[in-house]
């Protein structure tokens, strides 16, 4: 199945906490020092530090910057990141672009005009590059994150006192699962939210895995209600229930082809994951059809019985198989023709979108527009929504 890294944000998430948890996994921070030298940030010193939170020892990335210029534009940061190995620089650039977009929405400007204050300082650049370097050191495992806990109260920032969660954090986490935290204070920082929202493939409970290693990162905020830590679980991903299916197959040589769509529709409504029919040349040169039904394991017997009931087959074959699925979901976009559903799947670090055929057909029937034009427009809207 491949490697998976689970971010257990039990006490929150910040850049130094996430980088510290990478150190806890065994990642050598000396790699970061070399990258900072390449970027021309030799005045920035980094090292591993330890923090204790409610009796739990955690690692933290400690950053010391001398004569650091704290106000940077996105273009300045991207120029620095271009000097890194491509896989690390591209991932870090993705994080900072998300940060710039979120901050621009807060201040009513554009990403190019945003002045990075806290998040643009050397320590935040170091945190982001550290996490991306750690991911490369791990071989770029699939990254899954728990719902993020939202603290409450206020925090002092460059522009004054801000409510918590910080406005940029809320912008970064739109469309992602969050949960309330009893902590009175900042639990998720903009840098932490940007790293996870940009790089995590999905959010939710831990995936099934063979656990190989764990790392604990700690923040600087004193623990009161909860330990101020984040945990990384590293492992080999195991089969989950939805990834083992049963194939039900039958050969049909004496069934009216007009009835097959009705049977397939009945099977889908009964819980089949998929069903299809293909033409066959059978024994003695007879023409027929092969019916293939993909079933969840718990419905296999019921669906096999339904195939025997609804078709002319005298027998079916069942076999258990594994399947690989991409993280996927259905989103709704605001189109010129009203809300429209579009399916998207996460692959190779980006969303791949595909408008639902039923929506394309509905809009075509209502407007008389060619389906291809509708599909192009919905795809563009979904791609913009997914950035």
Of 288, 320, 289, residue with least CA distance to 304: 320
CA distance 59 to 331: 38
CA dihedral 225, 226, 228, 233 (to 10 degrees): -170
Looking at residue 241, its pLDDT comes to 43
Looking at residue 56, its pLDDT comes to 95
CA distance 375 to 372: 5
Instruction: List all residues 6 or more positions away from 327 whose beta carbon is below 8 Å from its beta carbon.
Output: 201, 202, 345, 346
Q: Cα angle at 325 between 323 and 329, to 5 degrees?
A: 145
Looking at residue 68, its pLDDT comes to 55
Which residue bears the tokens 């996460």?
346
Render each residue's pLDDT in the chain as its tens digit; 387 residues. Answer: 579 999 999 999 999 999 999 999 999 999 999 999 999 988 888 999 999 999 999 999 998 876 655 567 889 899 999 999 999 999 999 999 999 999 889 888 888 877 775 544 788 899 999 999 999 999 999 999 999 999 999 888 766 788 999 999 999 999 899 999 999 999 999 999 999 999 998 888 888 888 999 999 999 888 888 999 999 999 987 654 446 789 999 999 889 999 999 999 999 999 999 999 999 998 888 899 999 999 988 899 999 999 999 999 999 999 888 787 777 788 899 999 999 999 988 887 788 999 999 999 999 999 999 999 999 999 999 988 877
Strand pairing category for 202-203 and 142-145: parallel
Looking at residue 240, its pLDDT comes to 46
Of 22, 12, 369, residue with least CA distance to 169: 12
Looking at residue 162, its pLDDT comes to 82
Tell the burial category of 117 from Cβ atoms under 10 Å away from its Cβ (0-12, 13-18, 19+). middle
Looking at residue 147, its pLDDT comes to 94
Question: Which residues of the chain form CATH 3.30.70.1380?
Answer: 242-322
Instruction: List all residues 6 or more positions away from 373 whose beta carbon is below 8 Å from its beta carbon.
Output: none
In the β-sheet with 44-53, what is the strand arrangement from edge to edge? 44-53, 56-65, 209-218, 229-237, 3-8, 142-145, 202-203
Question: In this structure, which topology does domain 242-322 adopt according to CATH?
Answer: Alpha-Beta Plaits (3.30.70)
Of 61, 101, 99, 93, residue with least CA distance to 77: 93
């Amino acid at each position: 199945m491949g490697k998976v890294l689970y971010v257990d944000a039990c006490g929150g998430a910040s850049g130094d906490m996430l980088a510290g948890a990478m150190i806890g996994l065994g990642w050598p921070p000396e790699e970061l020092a070399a990258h900072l030298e390449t970027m021309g940030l030799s005045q920035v010193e980094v090292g591993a530090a330890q923090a204790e939170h409610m009796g739990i020892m955690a690692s933290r990335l400690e950053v010391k910057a001398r004569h650091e210029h704290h106000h940077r534009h996105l273009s300045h940061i991207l120029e620095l990141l271009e000097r890194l190995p491509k896989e690390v620089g591209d991932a870090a650039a993705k994080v900072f672009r998300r940060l710039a977009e979120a901050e621009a929405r807060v201040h009513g400007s554009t990403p190019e005009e945003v002045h990075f204050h806290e998040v643009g300082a050397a320590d935040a650049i170091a945190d982001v590059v550290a996490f991306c370097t750690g991911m490369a050191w791990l071989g770029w495992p699939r990254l899954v994150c728990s719902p993020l806990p939202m603290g409450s109260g206020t925090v002092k920032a460059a522009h004054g006192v801000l409510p918590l969660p910080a406005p940029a954090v809320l912008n970064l986490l739109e469309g992602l699962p969050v949960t309330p935290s009893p902590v009175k204070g900042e639990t998720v920082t903009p840098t932490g939210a940007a790293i996870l929202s940009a790089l995590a493939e999905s959010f939710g409970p831990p995936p099934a895995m063979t656990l190989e290693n764990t790392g604990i990162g700690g923040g600087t905020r004193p623990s009161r209600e909860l330990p101020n830590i984040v945990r990384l679980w590293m492992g080999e991903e195991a089969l989950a229930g939805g990834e083992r299916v049963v194939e039900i197959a039958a050969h049909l040589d004496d069934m009216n082809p007009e009835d097959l769509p009705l049977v397939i529709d009945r099977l889908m409504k009964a819980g089949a994951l998929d069903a299809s029919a293909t033409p066959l040349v059978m024994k003695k040169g007879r023409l027929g059809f092969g019916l293939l039904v993909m079933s969840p394991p718990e419905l296999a017997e019921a669906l096999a019985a339904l195939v025997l009931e609804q078709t002319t087959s005298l027998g079916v074959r069942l076999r258990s198989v594994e399947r690989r699925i991409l993280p996927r979901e259905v989103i709704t976009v605001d189109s010129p023709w009203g809300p429209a559903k579009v399916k998207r799947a996460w692959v190779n670090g980006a969303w791949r979108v595909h408008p639902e055929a039923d929506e394309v057909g509905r809009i075509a029937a209502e407007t008389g527009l060619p389906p291809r034009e509708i599909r192009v427009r919905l795809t563009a809207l979904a791609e913009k929504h997914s950035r």
